[in-house]
Chains A and B, each alone.
Chain A
Amino acid sequence: MEGGEGIDQGLRVLSYLLSGPLLYGFLGWLLDQWLHTSYWMVLGIVFGMAAGVYLVIRRFGRP
């Protein structure tokens, strides 16, 4: 059964897409707590999403 590599690639893509917003959203939340603003966490989530998508394109795209 050839399904092993497909499952592994799919899970790696999903883990990049999840850990990007998680890490940078958390950093943005810390910055919010320190500066008492309210917008850095949302910016962090969007930026982390962009970084995750970029990493997926670098690792898995461009045959």
Chain B
Amino acid sequence: MGLLGLIIPMEGGEEGSHWPPGVHSFDPKPLFPDAGIDWLNTYLLQAVIATILVIVLWLWVSKHQKVVPGFKQWCGEQLYNVVRNGIGRDALGPDYQKFTPYLLALFSFILVNNLFGQFFLSMFPTFSRVGYAYALALLTWLLYNGVGIAKHGLGGYLKMMTMPKGVPWPLYIIIIPLEILSNFIVRPVTLALRLFANLFAGHLVVIVFVVGGTLLLEQSSFLYKIAGGASLLMAYPIFALEIFVGVLQAYIFTVLTAQYVASSLADDH
């Protein structure tokens, strides 16, 4: 088990309590178990490290800018162009410059946190705890509502959101609660749940492959050992799929944030 533990990406040390994996595999472990602070656990540490990493990365890339860019500046510009052109300009039209910093920070933060799930020192994606996803969705909710109220005024914004044109007025009583539920509640909840469910399910599949493969490899029968080896070999393509899903989910979260802000700023439907 000791030698196997070096080449197999695995988290945790004790056996026996790991099978079958479920929600309990994601339980947080406090960093300082003897002090009274239980909320300082590994997920908080990962989020703080991701914040510092994102800030340091963007400051480092944007120092000493020249007109003819070197390689470091070119890489930073390519990443910046993906967010500004592909997401900001397409969705927001002429106001894209005001929202590009927030979209860039959101995209980088989600990407770094998702990639923590494949990094060998910390094998958990931060967003597999649902509270982090809810926090980001709350921030986006405050942003697109606040922008809409700032532009149209409170009454005008609610009127635009909840009353479509051309509806005969007795039907308004039926339509308005439906619109309120759909625009103000379903949107941020689906935003958070999409991010959380993709990362949680993906990481659970990885845990099943790796832990199951290790447990199968330790059995005595030879057929079980072949099955365990095949399961561990399959874990590597699943890892690659997880990297792709992490990038895709960061992109979709940012695109939908830009789209919600754009539809709050639009004049009419």
Q: Quick check: do A and B touch in the complex, using CB within 8 A?
A: yes
B5: Cβ under 8 A from any A Cβ: no
Q: Are A15 and B186 in contact (CB under 8 A)?
A: yes
Q: Which residues of B contact A (CB under 8 A)?
A: 86-87, 90-91, 164, 166-167, 171, 174-175, 177-179, 181-182, 185-187, 190, 252, 255-256, 258-260, 263, 269
Q: Are A4 and B91 in contact (CB under 8 A)?
A: yes
Residue of A nearest to B259 (CB): A8
On chain A, the residues within 8 Å of B174 by CB distance are: 51
Q: Are A20 and B178 in contact (CB under 8 A)?
A: yes
A contacts with B, residue count (CB < 8 A): 23
Q: Are B90 and A15 in contact (CB under 8 A)?
A: no
On chain B, the residues within 8 Å of A48 by CB distance are: 178
Q: How far, in angstroms, from A5 to B190 measured CA to CA in the complex?
A: 17
On chain B, the residues within 8 Å of A55 by CB distance are: 164, 175, 178-179
On chain B, the residues within 8 Å of A18 by CB distance are: 186
7 contacts between A and B (CB under 8 A): A2-B90, A4-B255, A8-B256, A19-B182, A48-B178, A54-B175, A55-B175
B69 smallest CB distance to A (angstroms)? 24
Q: Are A4 and B164 in contact (CB under 8 A)?
A: no
Residue of B nearest to A22 (CB): B181
On chain A, the residues within 8 Å of B185 by CB distance are: 19
Q: Are B258 and A4 in contact (CB under 8 A)?
A: yes
In the complex, which residues 1-58 of chain A have their Cβ closer than 8 Å to any Cβ of chain B? 1-5, 7-8, 11-12, 15-16, 18-20, 22-23, 48, 51-52, 54-55, 58
B182 smallest CB distance to A (angstroms)? 4
Other A-B pairs beyond A4-B90, A4-B258, A8-B263, 17, CB < 8 Å: A1-B86, A7-B255, A7-B259, A8-B259, A15-B182, A15-B187, A16-B178, A18-B186, A19-B181, A19-B185, A22-B181, A51-B178, A52-B178, A55-B178, A55-B179, A58-B164, A58-B166
Q: Are A59 and B164 in contact (CB under 8 A)?
A: yes
Set A2, A8, A51, A58: member contacting B260, Cβ < 8 A: A8
Residue of B nearest to A3 (CB): B255
Q: How far, in angstroms, from A48 to B174 measured CA to CA in the complex?
A: 9
| Ranked 5 nearest A-B pairs via Cβ | A8-B259, A15-B186, A19-B182, A19-B181, A4-B91
Q: How far, in angstroms, from A3 to B258 measured CA to CA in the complex?
A: 12
A31 smallest CB distance to B (angstroms)? 15
On chain A, the residues within 8 Å of B91 by CB distance are: 4-5
Q: Are A1 and B90 in contact (CB under 8 A)?
A: yes
Q: Are B178 and A5 in contact (CB under 8 A)?
A: no
B247 smallest CB distance to A (angstroms)? 14
